[in-house]
A and B are shown apart, each in its own frame.
Chain A
């Protein structure tokens, strides 16, 4: 995995030193809040409803063992003993005190981590497929390129004051697990007819107030042109993006208002110039970075004991059925550790749980962990013969929930329990839905179903791309939840459609239950997923399940 070189190390330390002095000046009164606010935001420090919140970047979701342990230490020493993993592969600490933050940032710098560019109108944490470098279906590991983009965009003088924040996601697999079409730039590794590696480049995706799916701006970009092309897109956006209206400032609006063709022409013009200016420096750097991402030395071992344990133990079998994904190396699997035990807060892990996961990665996982945008933790490289031991340790730490991809594997943003921008809560809704389906004990029968919940239109919970999306709103001083149906964040992406009037908090669980039971009643067979059924029959039958015919006529 990538380790900081001297330049990275010096840069991050210098930023911590500066921020320490800025905090001191804020506390002694030499800086006002208006002066200090942009400085703290540049270092990932927000002020939320009950406390400050520190957002730490986990570039492309990859964590080493020592980094995960350090997050546990921080949670214990300076926070309330836990951390919250987010849909952007970040971790948030919900209770730091202002005067402790410089020490926290130093503790992060010790293990090559930081909170830079986790806020503000700059290029944010570059996210990637959480199965990168491990998945059987992958063309190539996208993380070296993600790291190149991180280095290039960090403190890039031209792109520190973009019209608005800017999010890039990259996948090396045709099966899109990185929600690339919901990002300002989405990059998909592909091969052309001649078998050469390159990218399909998507631009102008984003959720929030005006959800849009990214459009193809280049159907095949040769691999070596990536950085100049991305720089050309940023440059064009920096110039043409609107600065008069915050709600129209994202690149999706720039592309929409100018038209994709006009925007592309501007990008291509810049690209032609930039391409010759780079003179291959980016390629040299990428080659250097790639050395850090060499695959681990996979081993061979017999699988008899694993198979025997699996045959004898139904709980283990259920877990292997839902929480494993095909690995490219024979005998190996990708393990997803669910942070979604029914009743738990989606994405939260205690310091103890973080240490258990780090220990497991060290003992059995080639020292690597991943954070998924679905708010789970992944052990990307595990030999199947080690799975029984792993599962037993996970069980002891309350981490062996067998629900990945099922109803209770819900994405939920912090919502009004923490977030100053929220219009309603999301966490209790996720908890109640998961508990209800645990009671009904039907989620394995229901099969793949993604529920995603946001506590306001900013859509951090990705509700537009949930098979069932839930958006929390404030209707005349009462929490109210609006349902969208048929969203999809993968390679077959679509935006969910609004169903009708929202539901108050005490009715939302029942509403979701009616949708799921309705699906079970009308699906063609057990093979037809929830999303496929929605696509086949359309929204009307589901409106019937939700509102009943009478209520719908009245609505």
Chain B
């Protein structure tokens, strides 16, 4: 029996800046996970990953990671991915300093959002 497919997004780091980005439905790489394409089908996920792997002039290390739907777009399932939408805890650097709203939950950390 096939297990139910957990929805996914394609994520990577940008080649020059190294910051986290997500693949959108219209083939852009967005620094805001809210814009990511939420993929709900295994076959489509593989196609999108293949597409991402062909974008090596723009991004590094594309991969599929688990995500969940929300009214404002996809949110991370695991706290590691939540960090990637936010930046480090010890300084206000990274996405949190760039006007992006952190997404997903970090258990034990009340400062999380969406």
Residues of chain A touching chain B, judged by Cβ–Cβ distance below 8 Å, are: 26-27, 29, 32-33, 47-52, 80, 94-99, 345, 348, 416-418, 422, 425, 427-428, 431, 474, 477-479, 504-506
Contacts and interface: CB of A to CB of B under 8 A. Distances in A.
B76 to A, nearest CB: 10
Nearest to B107: A478
Contact of A97 (B18, B20, B56, B80): B18
B16 A50 contact: no
A15 B12 CA distance: 28
B19 A51 contact: yes
B54 to A, nearest CB: 10
A50 B107 contact: no
B107 A477 contact: yes
Nearest to A51: B18
Interface string B91-113: 10111000000000011110000
27 contacts: A26-B15, A33-B60, A47-B18, A49-B80, A50-B83, A50-B93, A51-B13, A51-B17, A51-B94, A52-B18, A94-B88, A95-B93, A97-B16, A98-B16, A98-B17, A416-B80, A417-B88, A417-B90, A425-B89, A427-B89, A427-B90, A428-B89, A431-B90, A477-B78, A478-B79, A479-B106, A504-B107
Interface size class, chain B: 20 to 34
Given A50-B94, A417-B89, A425-B89, A479 B20 contact: no
B48 interface: no
A96 B17 CA distance: 8
Contacts of A94: 88, 93
Contact of A29 (B16, B57, B84, B90): B57
B85 to A, nearest CB: 10
Contact of B108 (A51, A97, A478): A478
Interface centre among A50, A52, A98, A505 (most CB of B within 10 A): A50
Contact of B56 (A33, A50, A80, A478): A33
Contacts of B57: 27, 29
Contacts of B18: 47-48, 50-52, 96-98
Nearest to A423: B80
B15 A477 contact: no
A144 to B, nearest CB: 38
Judged by DSSP, the binding face of A is mixed
A9 to B, nearest CB: 29
B39 to A, nearest CB: 20
B87 interface: yes
A50 B88 contact: yes
Interface string B53-73: 000110011000000000000
Contacts of B16: 27, 97-99
B107 A479 contact: yes
B27 to A, nearest CB: 17
Contacts of B88: 50, 94, 417-418, 427
A94 B89 CA distance: 14
Contacts of A95: 93
Given A33-B60, A477-B107, A504-B108, A417 B83 contact: yes
Contacts of A32: 56
A505 B111 CA distance: 14
